Amino acid sequence: MTQSDPAPEEVVEAERAAAEAKAAAEEAQRRAEELAAAAQAARRDAEESAADERTNDDPTAPDDDESIAAIRAGYAFDGPALEIGALVVDGRARPDVPVRIPFGMLNRHGLIAGATGTGKTKTLQVLAEQVAAGGVPVFAADIKGDLSGIATPGESSDKLLERTRGIGQDWRPTASTTEFYCLGGLGTGVPIRATIEAFGPTLLSKVLELNATQESSLALVFHYARKSGLRLVTVDDLRAVVAFLDSDEGKPELKAIGGLSSATVGVILRKLVAFADSGADVFFGEPAFDVTDVLRTDDDGAGIVSLLEVPGVQDRPELFSTFLMYLLRELFSTLPEVGDTDKPKLVFFFDEAHLLFRDASKEFLEIVVQTVRLIRSKGVGVFFVTQTPKDVPDDVLAQLGSRIQHQLRAHTPQDAKALRATVSTYPHSHYDLEEVLTQLATGEAIVTVMNDKGAPSPVAWTRVRAPQGSMDPTPAETIAATVETSPLGAKYAAVETTDGAASVLAERSRAAAAEASAAAERDRTAREAERLERQAPKTSTSSTGRRRSTRMSPVERAIGEASRTAAREIVKAIFKKRR
Ligand SMILES: Nc1ncnc2c1ncn2[C@@H]1O[C@H](COP(=O)(O)OP(=O)(O)OP(=O)(O)O)[C@@H](O)[C@H]1O
Ligand SMILES: [Mg+2]
Are both 50 and 173 inside the same structural domain? no
Q: Is the CB of 443 under 6 A from ligand 1?
A: yes
Are both 506 and 488 inside the same structural domain? no
Q: How far is the CA of 465 from the centre of ligand 1 (A)?
A: 11
Neighbours of 460 (CB within 10 A): 28
Pocket test for ligand 1, best of 111, 313, 442 (most atoms within 8 A of CB): 442
Is 70 contained in some domain?
no
pLDDT at 436: 95
Q: Is the CB of 157 under 6 A from ligand 1?
A: no
Query: What is each CA distance from 240 to 70, 141, 541, in whole angstroms?
Result: 65, 32, 56
Q: Is the CB of 161 under 6 A from ligand 1?
A: no
Are both 390 and 470 inside the same structural domain? yes
Are both 242 and 101 inside the same structural domain? no
Strand duo 110-113 + 138-142: pairing = unpaired
Q: How far is the CA of 117 from the centre of ligand 1 (A)?
A: 5
pLDDT at 539: 53
Q: How far is the CA of 444 from the centre of ligand 1 (A)?
A: 10
Closest CA to 192 of 142, 136, 128: 142
Amino acid found at 395: D
Are both 310 and 441 inside the same structural domain? yes
Nearest ligand for residue 160 CA: 1
Q: Is the CB of 267 under 6 A from ligand 1?
A: no
Is 62 contained in some domain?
no
Is 441 contained in some domain?
yes
Nearest ligand for residue 171 CA: 1
Is 151 contained in some domain?
yes
Q: How far is the CA of 27 from the centre of ligand 1 (A)?
A: 70
Q: Is the CB of 102 under 6 A from ligand 1?
A: no
Domain count, the chain: 3
> Is residue 442 left, alpha or beta, with left meaning phi > 0 and alpha meaning psi from -120 to 50?
beta
Residue nearest to atom 25 of ligand 1 (CA): 116
Q: Is the CB of 464 under 6 A from ligand 1?
A: yes
Q: How far is the CA of 456 from the centre of ligand 1 (A)?
A: 26
Is 538 contained in some domain?
no
- Output the CA angle 471-473-478, nearest 5 degrees: 130
Closest CA to 408 of 372, 437, 369, 445: 437
What is the total residue count of the chain? Answer: 579
What's the predicted TM-score (pTM) here? 0.78
Are both 317 and 424 inside the same structural domain? yes
pLDDT at 54: 38
Q: How far is the CA of 165 from the centre of ligand 1 (A)?
A: 19
Q: How far is the CA of 120 from the centre of ligand 2 (A)?
A: 5
Atom of ligand 1 nearest to the CA of 85: 1
Q: Is the CB of 401 under 6 A from ligand 1?
A: no
- Output the CA angle 202-398-139, nearest 5 degrees: 60
Burial class from Cβ neighbours inside 10 Å (0-12, 13-18, 19+) for residue 354 reads: middle
Atom of ligand 1 nearest to the CA of 116: 25
Query: Rounded to whole angstroms, how far apart are CA atoms 207 and 317?
Result: 9
Task: Please give the chain's pLDDT, 579 residues, in tens.
Answer: 444 566 667 766 777 777 777 777 777 677 766 666 666 655 555 544 444 443 444 555 677 888 999 999 999 998 999 999 999 999 999 999 999 999 999 999 999 999 999 999 999 999 999 999 999 999 998 888 889 999 999 999 999 999 999 999 999 999 999 999 998 888 889 999 999 999 999 999 988 999 999 999 999 999 999 999 999 999 999 999 999 999 988 989 888 888 789 899 999 999 999 999 888 888 899 999 999 999 999 999 999 999 998 876 667 777 888 888 899 999 999 999 998 889 999 999 988 888 888 878 888 889 899 999 999 999 999 999 999 898 899 999 999 999 999 999 989 998 898 899 889 888 888 899 999 999 999 999 999 999 999 999 999 999 999 999 999 999 999 999 999 999 898 888 877 777 899 999 988 889 988 998 999 999 999 999 999 988 876 554 444 444 444 455 555 555 555 555 555 554 454 444 444
Is 567 contained in some domain?
no
Our measurement of the distance from residue 4's CA atom to the centroid of its chain's CA atoms, rounded to an integer in Å, reads 116
Are both 344 and 397 inside the same structural domain? yes
Domain boundary residue, one of 493, 508, 540: 493
Are both 44 and 189 inside the same structural domain? no
Name residues with Cβ closer than 5 Å to ligand 2, which is an ion.
Answer: 120-121
Omega before residue 62 within 30° of 0, cis: yes
pLDDT at 434: 92
Q: What is the CATH number of the domain that holds 446?
A: 3.40.50.300
Q: What is the spatial order of strands in the sheet that 346-350 belongs to?
A: 92-102, 81-89, 460-464, 444-448, 402-405, 110-113, 380-386, 346-350, 138-142, 305-309, 178-183, 190-192
Omega before residue 287 within 30° of 0, cis: yes
Residue nearest to atom 15 of ligand 1 (CA): 119
Atom of ligand 1 nearest to the CA of 122: 18
Atom of ligand 1 nearest to the CA of 118: 21
Are both 187 and 334 inside the same structural domain? yes
Q: How far is the CA of 146 from the centre of ligand 1 (A)?
A: 10
Is 358 contained in some domain?
yes
Query: Rounded to whole angstroms, how far apart are CA atoms 570 and 368?
Result: 104
* Strand locations in 24-160 (E): 81-89, 92-102, 110-113, 138-142
Is 138 contained in some domain?
yes
HEC per residue, 128-142: HHHHHHCCCCEEEEE
Q: Is the CB of 116 under 6 A from ligand 1?
A: yes
Q: How far is the CA of 126 from the centre of ligand 2 (A)?
A: 13
Q: Is the CB of 442 under 6 A from ligand 1?
A: yes
Q: Is the CB of 471 under 6 A from ligand 1?
A: yes
Q: How far is the CA of 441 from the centre of ligand 1 (A)?
A: 11
Atom of ligand 1 nearest to the CA of 123: 1
Are both 337 and 447 inside the same structural domain? yes
Nearest ligand for residue 407 CA: 1
pLDDT at 577: 42
Are both 359 and 241 inside the same structural domain? no
Q: Is the CB of 560 under 6 A from ligand 1?
A: no
Neighbours of 374 (CB within 10 A): 13
Are both 411 and 513 inside the same structural domain? no
Q: Is the CB of 353 under 6 A from ligand 1?
A: no
Q: How far is the CA of 442 from the centre of ligand 1 (A)?
A: 7
Domain that holds residue 433: 81-193+286-493
Q: Is the CB of 119 under 6 A from ligand 1?
A: yes
Residue nearest to atom 12 of ligand 1 (CA): 119
Q: Is the CB of 152 under 6 A from ligand 1?
A: no
Q: Are 332 and 371 in contact (CB under 8 A)?
A: yes
Q: How far is the CA of 351 from the centre of ligand 2 (A)?
A: 7
Q: Are 466 and 172 in contact (CB under 8 A)?
A: no
Pocket test for ligand 1, best of 82, 121, 386, 462 (most atoms within 8 A of CB): 121
